[in-house]
Structure 1
């Protein structure tokens, strides 16, 4: 087996470099059949067993691998994130409910104008809007590209919020007193562009859910949201009976 080189002169600890290397190889699908054991990694990377164990300990803590005493580590199955049809859900809450850590890379948080979005929100075309764009991560891996517009007249307090580890709806309620209570949403499947596929680390052939949502509070439009979600990690669910049809779930807005 050919050895792999780590940077022994830099400031990054060897176990962190090893962890990053293993994550990159996992994302590339290299360990789909079997994850290497400790001794194999010691030989391949030319590091101590304690270095390997520290890297694996963090991968276990993040839910990436499963390693039981006396057994070889294995790749943990990726939990599928379920959203109820007909419920006003929070992606933040749903990711955490699946047992995954929830983080975001904030790409934009600013004021801007968008005539088309303003029209959807019932505003004049030049009305200022709070715009938030995030790459949503679940368990450290990309899950969704999320873009949201809100009327600046009510949502400007959000401009000082840190959305790396918190939910939009939670901050909206805390900072403005506004809670969404209704809305309209349409969902359709799309083929990702090369840029979108790269951003979301999509395996070849993976489709995306494209979700457009108009969120309301007491009958007034408050949110226009466009979300692209990996189809291999996201599912829509509904319950129904022969007599009453679909039974919609109560809103989740945490």
Structure 2
């Protein structure tokens, strides 16, 4: 919308001087913005607070209350210090009970997948080694990425692989490639099965900043043990934005759901990790 655009003519907003006792002024602003969003007025950009104050002739507090309501409704999103924008990105869907690639799922949704590689090295981690049925001092390849979908943060991903299997991956640029493709091509390892736990969590302040999450948006914590022909080869933890991700289960009349939502710890997970 152009900077000099005016509020909706079909849903006039009373000025501060005409505020009624029954309806707070911010609700008028919220309702008008909601209607404008529904009409697609903000396809290219969404006005900032100063521009909205000028359009509606109200205080910054009134604008912020209206925007807060729209964020809670999932109609706009905004990280600290950034201008609000309409929520138009498709939600990334992952199949439950299937071996999937987040890379492929993002691109299947029509979004470009990019990663910011935060760490790629060889290290030891006693807790992970035990999960992989190895000695605590076993060398592990560690890959940590901030996953982006359409240029926006989607997930914080940490992967451990046995160094004996995956040392060749140290030379890979993981900014735009799929881990499982590289693992198969360079190391001859194809994941065949595994186990996974998906849990809703409240992100820490540091995680909110990393994923640019609004304070009222939860996240999914995903823990995965990947196997190749019955041998554990991968331990992965992923924190993924709850407003950009959904898990989908398939069912039929005979087999029913292949999904266990029981509140019990999966056998392979071991002690609950500290968050």
Match of 2:126 among 107, 110, 115: 115
Counterpart secondary structure, 2:175? coil
Alignment correspondent of 2:190: 179
Kindly state the Cα deviation for residue 201 of structure 1 after the two structures are TM-superposed.
1.0
Query: C-alpha displacement at 1:161, in angstroms?
Result: 0.5
Alpha-carbon deviations, 1:194-243, whole Å to 9, x = none? 11011111123111100000000011111000000001000001121343
Match of 1:222 among 216, 233, 256: 233
- Which residue is 1:54 aligned to? none
Structure 2 counterpart of 1:194:
205
Q: Does 1:141 align with 2:152?
A: yes
**Aligned pairs (5 A) from 1:202-217:** 202-217=213-228
Structure 2 partner of 1:104: 115
| 2:177 paired with 1:166 | yes
Q: CA deviation at 1:139?
A: 0.2
Map of 1:35 onto structure 2: 42
Instruction: Tell me the residue number matched to 2:97.
Output: 86
Q: Would you identify which runs of 4 or more consecutive aligned residues in structure 1 move more than 4 Å? A: none
Q: CA deviation at 1:190?
A: 0.3
Kindly provide the CA deviation profile for residues 71-113 of structure 1, in whole angstroms up to 9, marking residues without a partner as x.
Answer: xxx9571101101110010000000000000000000000000
Q: CA deviation at 1:122?
A: 1.0
Give me the whole-angstrom Cα distance separating, in 2, the residues matched to 1:37 and 1:161.
Answer: 36
Q: Given the two structures, how large is their TM-score scaled by the length of structure 2? A: 0.64
Question: CA, structure 1 residues 110+37, in 2 after alignment: closer, same or farther (shift >3 Å)?
Answer: closer
Determine the structure 1 residue equivalent to 2:68: none
CA distance in 2, matches of 1:187, 1:206: 16
Superposed CA RMSD in Å reads 2.6
Unpaired stretches in structure 1, ≥5 consecutive residues:
4-31, 45-73, 249-254
Counterpart in 2 of 1:7? none
Distance across 1 between alignment mates of 2:99 and 2:86:
33
- The aligned residue for residue 235 of structure 1 is 246
Residues in 1 aligned to 2:87 and 2:133: alpha-carbon distance in whole angstroms: 46
SS of 1:104's equivalent in the other structure is strand
Say if 1:36 and 1:113 are closer, same or farther in 2 by CA, change over 3 A. closer
Residue in structure 2 matching 1:151, options 155, 162, 183: 162
Residue in structure 2 matched with residue 15 of structure 1 by the alignment: none
Between 1 and 2, higher relative CO (CA 8 Å, sep ≥ 6) is seen in 1
